[in-house]
């Protein structure tokens, strides 16, 4: 939560004071007295179902739009603080009450159907999905970026498809950092304390009404974790949290920050996630048919399953356990570079797993280390979570076709008996995104009109989807797009307005933003983590040429940027500072903005409102990428290097490809960068800009709209997370 000044909340209860030093709070279940006919809002606030339905969002926003923004779209905080007068006005507003009633029926219908079975996946034996972060909605701030958003979308599609699945993660009290840009363009980080009691998290209790605690040995002590439950439609997401009175001060902070600490913090977090996660499922009586390790962070769960197996079978040995555990577990890797995978020094593994635990696996310490090495005999190698995961699961996959290929090459050395990368048993499932979450309400409205109320289900049938989208007239598509583009521009004006400007050195400081950006100008978005391989500076490689492009009087271009640098990545912060400090005298200051604190909310405005989404990663380092998929579902055109998902998505008409698909091995990095920059400028100058500004006799850019339509038709079904979850069920889980 952003700090909210207490003055603004006159009816705030005393325990909510943000200055409170309290570590533990047991004031969950605050229950606002709601008017009888608005009671359903309380139920709704406990399930993130509302967040992927425009009508659900509106029911909360309409109560008090200003407060809704102020409390950052958190229904729990809204309901707690909304003024009585507003509640009673809504209770007397027949339109509002009718809308609420209709939505309550939709909610009841959705939740009344019982889960389906998919082969061996049944309500009794569900899939257990493990991930270190979940990006469900901004009001549950326990994600940092792509991996979390993907996990959130996975749960939403599993919910919509009525798939028996439970999810396990960690509750990070301080979440991930908030980004602020100082007057000199330097990124600063801020963590805010989010109290579980203000989030839509319910404490998980045992049959005696007490907190369910799991115990894990860490740092030579017994460490306890309590569990919270978040409802994601029909899906239960359990989050472990070590901030409990039973723990030492320092252990309470184990789940404090997401990716905030050193490797020691990470290893203990991962122990809580993997081992604590399995123990929690046991306490809940959940017996999964398959465990999905989404990224290697949770790979320790394989060791816990091994320990359990051997504990129950006196005569079994480690090899027996491995064949059992492998059968139960599947693994998805998300990183195409060796260095990006989690690695721990052996001393930390030794500290983390005491002798008792290791001997319960019926192996020696050295044998444990071997499980985490690419070359088991190389005693200098650290312990890698990906080698462990690959060894102890029956299936491993990358997240796009290209990434599958790259992963087979990368992990070939784990398979001494295999000589050809092609034969490495790593497959792929290309990532996708949850359409109802990412498609703008204005597009959902035209989808409903031309395709039907159940457009999101029609999406499962590419031919039916095509037939539906083809019926939408060009001007309707254009108008829906312009509507969200205007919204993006207002958002930009609001976010970049600053009464307290500093040196006027950065493009980020403006006093008067009321005329900033125009809906008639081609708008290009670029938002992603600031990391070297994403090549933030590719666009700036020929500044003169760039300024000529943005300043062209008849056909100008405006850019909107957003993204965070890892707190310890100085090089990335310098890059950002450089971008923000570009020549003050040029028009760049009028044509480019940087939005602070890229998160799911900022992403939504961007992917829905831009005309073009640019992506220029160094090949083949973009494992998949998903932000461009969100753009495509909103009629935006991708302008991207052929890497990750775009290799599969690009068809020559539904966007633009930078560079060519070539084997880059022989060329130097500088040569490749120079070629890609040249290609980027050229495509902008000769294709993107002329096509965007070419208007037909009715004043519409008809060729551009034709491409938008092509993107909507071809990319939406293929890159929806419904398709992704279906693929996981058919090709991986069963
Ligand atoms: C979708 C999304 C991402 C992932 O996008 P990439 O294409 O992988 O960069 C990251 N952060 C946020 C906030 C998102 O919404």
Q: Where are the domains of the chain?
A: 32-112, 127-431, 441-718
**Site to substitute for ligand 1 among 133, 135, 595, 596, most atoms within 8 A of C-beta:** 135
Q: Is the CB of 627 under 6 A from ligand 1?
A: yes
Q: Give distance in angstroms: CA of 322 to centre of ligand 1.
A: 36
At 9 the pLDDT is 30
Q: Give distance in angstroms: CA of 402 to centre of ligand 1.
A: 19
At 587 the pLDDT is 73
Q: Give distance in angstroms: CA of 144 to centre of ligand 1.
A: 9
Q: Is the CB of 535 under 6 A from ligand 1?
A: no
Q: Give distance in angstroms: CA of 684 to centre of ligand 1.
A: 23
Q: Is the CB of 145 under 6 A from ligand 1?
A: yes
Span 22-30, mean pLDDT? 53
- For the CA of 615, the nearest atom of ligand 1: 7
CATH architecture of 127-431: 3-Layer(aba) Sandwich (3.40)
Q: Per-residue pLDDT for 665 more than 90? A: no
At 514 the pLDDT is 87
Q: Whose CA is nearest to atom 11 of ligand 1?
A: 145
Span 499-520, mean pLDDT? 80
In angstroms, the CA 457 to CA 321 distance is 41
pTM: predicted TM-score of the whole model, two decimal places: 0.95
Q: Give distance in angstroms: CA of 616 to centre of ligand 1.
A: 14
Q: Give distance in angstroms: CA of 444 to centre of ligand 1.
A: 21
Q: Per-residue pLDDT for 13 more than 50? A: no
* Tokens coding 70: 């102020």
Q: Whose CA is nearest to atom 5 of ligand 1?
A: 627
Q: Is the CB of 625 under 6 A from ligand 1?
A: yes
H-type helices in 82-136, by residue range?
Answer: 84-91, 94-112
Query: pLDDT tens for residues 295-351?
Result: 999 999 999 999 999 999 999 999 999 999 999 999 999 999 888 889 999 999 998
At 729 the pLDDT is 98
The edge-to-edge listing of strands for the beta sheet with 637-641 is 592-595, 557-562, 522-527, 612-615, 637-641, 655-658
At 28 the pLDDT is 53
Q: Whose CA is nearest to atom 4 of ligand 1?
A: 146
At 507 the pLDDT is 78
Q: Are 601 and 138 within 8 A, CB to CB?
A: yes
At 2 the pLDDT is 37
**Across all residues in the chain, what is the average pLDDT?**
92
Asked if the domains at 127-431 and 441-718 fall in one CATH topology, the answer is yes
Q: Give distance in angstroms: CA of 528 to centre of ligand 1.
A: 6
Span 129-153, mean pLDDT? 97
Q: Which residue has the tokens 């252990």?
A: 251
At 4 the pLDDT is 35
CA quadruple 128, 132, 134, 140: dihedral sign? positive
Of the candidates 669, 548, 681, the one whose C-alpha atom is nearest the C-alpha of residue 617 is 669
Q: Is the CB of 75 under 6 A from ligand 1?
A: no
- For the CA of 602, the nearest atom of ligand 1: 13
At 21 the pLDDT is 40
In which band, very low, low, confident or very high, does the pLDDT at 8 lie, cut at 50, 70 and 90? very low
Q: Per-residue pLDDT for 17 more than 50? A: no
Q: Which residue has the higher pLDDT, 338 or 652?
A: 652
Q: Give distance in angstroms: CA of 135 to centre of ligand 1.
A: 10
In which band, very low, low, confident or very high, does the pLDDT at 664 lie, cut at 50, 70 and 90? low
Q: Per-residue pLDDT for 3 more than 90? A: no
At 462 the pLDDT is 97
Q: Which residues contact 454 (CB under 8 A, 6 or more apart)?
A: none
Q: Are 518 and 586 within 8 A, CB to CB?
A: no
Give how far Cα 403 sits from Cα of 399, 400, 616, Å: 6, 5, 16
Structural element, H or E, at residue 613:
strand 612-615
At 203 the pLDDT is 95
Structural element, H or E, at residue 396:
strand 395-398
Homologous superfamily, domain 441-718: Glycogen Phosphorylase B; (3.40.50.2000)
In which band, very low, low, confident or very high, does the pLDDT at 18 lie, cut at 50, 70 and 90? very low
**Which segment of 12-21, 477-486, 588-597, 644-653 scores lowest on mean pLDDT?**
12-21
Angle at 664 between CA 711 and CA 566, to 5 degrees: 70
Q: Give distance in angstroms: CA of 696 to centre of ligand 1.
A: 35
Query: pLDDT tens for residues 163-194?
Result: 999 999 999 999 999 999 998 889 999 998 87
**Which segment of 122-131, 200-209, 383-392 scores lowest on mean pLDDT?**
200-209
Q: Is the CB of 485 under 6 A from ligand 1?
A: no
Q: Which residue has the higher pLDDT, 12 or 660?
A: 660
- For the CA of 527, the nearest atom of ligand 1: 9
Query: pLDDT tens for residues 553-596?
Result: 999 999 999 999 999 899 999 999 988 887 666 678 789 999 99
Q: Which residues contact 450 (CB under 8 A, 6 or more apart)?
A: 468, 469, 471, 472, 476
At 509 the pLDDT is 78
């Amino acid at each position: 939560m952003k700090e909210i000044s207490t003055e603004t909340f006159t009816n705030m209860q005393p325990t909510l004071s943000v200055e409170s030093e309290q570590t533990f709070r047991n004031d969950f279940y605050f229950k606002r007295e709601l008017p009888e006919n608005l009671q359903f809002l309380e139920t709704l606030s406990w399930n993130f179902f509302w967040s992927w339905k425009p009508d659900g969002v509106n029911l909360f926003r309409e109560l008090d739009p200003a407060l809704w923004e102020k409390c950052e779209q958190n229904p729990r905080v809204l309901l707690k603080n909304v003024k009585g007068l507003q509640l009673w006005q809504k209770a007397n507003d027949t339109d509002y009450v009718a809308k609420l009633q209709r939505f309550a029926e939709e909610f009841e219908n959705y939740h009344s159907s019982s889960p389906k079975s998919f082969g061996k996946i049944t309500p009794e034996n569900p899939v257990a999905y493990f991930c270190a972060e979940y990006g469900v909605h901004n009001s549950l701030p326990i994600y940092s970026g792509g991996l979390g958003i993907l996990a959130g979308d996975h749960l939403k599609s599993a919910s919509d498809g009525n798939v028996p699945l439970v999810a396990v993660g960690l509750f990070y009290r301080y979440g991930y950092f908030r980004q602020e840009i100082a007057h000199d363009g330097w990124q600063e980080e801020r963590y805010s304390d989010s109290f579980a009691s203000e989030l839509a998290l319910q404490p998980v209790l045992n049959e005696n009404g007490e907190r369910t605690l799991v115990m894990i040995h860490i740092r030579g002590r017994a460490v306890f974790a309590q569990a919270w439950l978040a409802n994601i439609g029909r899906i239960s997401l359990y989050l472990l949290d070590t901030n409990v009175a039973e723990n030492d001060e320092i252990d309470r902070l184990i789940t404090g920050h997401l990716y905030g600490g050193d490797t020691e913090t990470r290893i203990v977090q991962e122990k809580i996630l993997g081992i604590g996660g399995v123990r929690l499922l046991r306490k809940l009586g959940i017996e999964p048919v398959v465990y999905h390790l989404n990224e290697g962070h949770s790979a320790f769960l394989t060791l816990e399953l091994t320990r359990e197996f051997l504990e129950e079978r006196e005569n079994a040995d480690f090899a027996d356990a491995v064949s059992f555990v492998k059968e139960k577990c599947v693994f998805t890797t998300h990183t195409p570079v060796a260095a990006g995978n989690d690695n721990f020094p052996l001393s930390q593994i030794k500290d983390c797993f005491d002798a008792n635990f290791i001997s319960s696996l019926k192996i020696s310490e050295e044998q444990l280390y071997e499980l985490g090495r690419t070359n088991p005999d190389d005693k200098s190698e650290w312990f890698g979570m990906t080698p462990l995961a690959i060894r102890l699961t029956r299936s491993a996959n990358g997240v796009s076709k290209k990434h599958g290929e790259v992963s087979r090459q990368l992990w070939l050395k784990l398979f001494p008996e295999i000589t050809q990368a092609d034969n490495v048993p790593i497959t792929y499932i290309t990532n996708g995104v949850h359409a109802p979450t990412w498609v703008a309400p204005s597009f959902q409205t035209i989808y409903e009109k031309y395709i039907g109320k159940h457009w999101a289900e029609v999406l499962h049938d590419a031919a039916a989807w095509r037939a539906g989208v083809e019926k939408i007239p060009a001007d309707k598509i254009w108008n829906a797009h312009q509507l969200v583009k205007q919204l993006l521009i207002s958002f930009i004006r609001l976010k970049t307005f600053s009464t307290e400007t500093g040196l006027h050195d950065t493009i980020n400081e403006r006093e008067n933003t009321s005329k900033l950006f125009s809906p008639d100008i081609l708008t290009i978005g670029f938002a992603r983590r600031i990391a070297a391989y994403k090549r933030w500076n590719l666009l700036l490689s020929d500044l003169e040429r760039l300024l000529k492009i943005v300043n062209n009087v008849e056909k100008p271009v405006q850019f909107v940027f957003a993204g965070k640098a890892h707190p310890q990545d100085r090089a990335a912060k310098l890059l950002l500072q450089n971008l923000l400090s570009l020549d003050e005298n040029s028009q760049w200051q009028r044509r480019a903005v940087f939005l602070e604190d890229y998160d799911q909310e900022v992403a939504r405005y961007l992917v829905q409102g831009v005309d073009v989404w640019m992506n220029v990663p160094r090949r083949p380092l973009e494992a998949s990428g998903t932000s461009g998929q969100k753009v495509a579902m909103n009629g935006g055109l991708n302008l991207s290097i052929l890497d990750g998902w775009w290799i599969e998505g690009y068809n020559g008409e539904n966007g633009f490809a930078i560079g060519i698909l070539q084997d880059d091995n022989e060329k130097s990095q500088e040569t490749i960068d120079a070629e890609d920059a040249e290609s980027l400028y050229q495509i902008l100058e000769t294709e993107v800009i002329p096509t965007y500004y070419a208007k037909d006799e009715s004043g519409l850019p008809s060729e551009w709209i034709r491409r938008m339509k092509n993107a909507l038709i071809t990319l939406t079904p293929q890159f929806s997370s419904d398709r992704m979850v279906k693929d996981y069920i058919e090709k991986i889980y069963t």
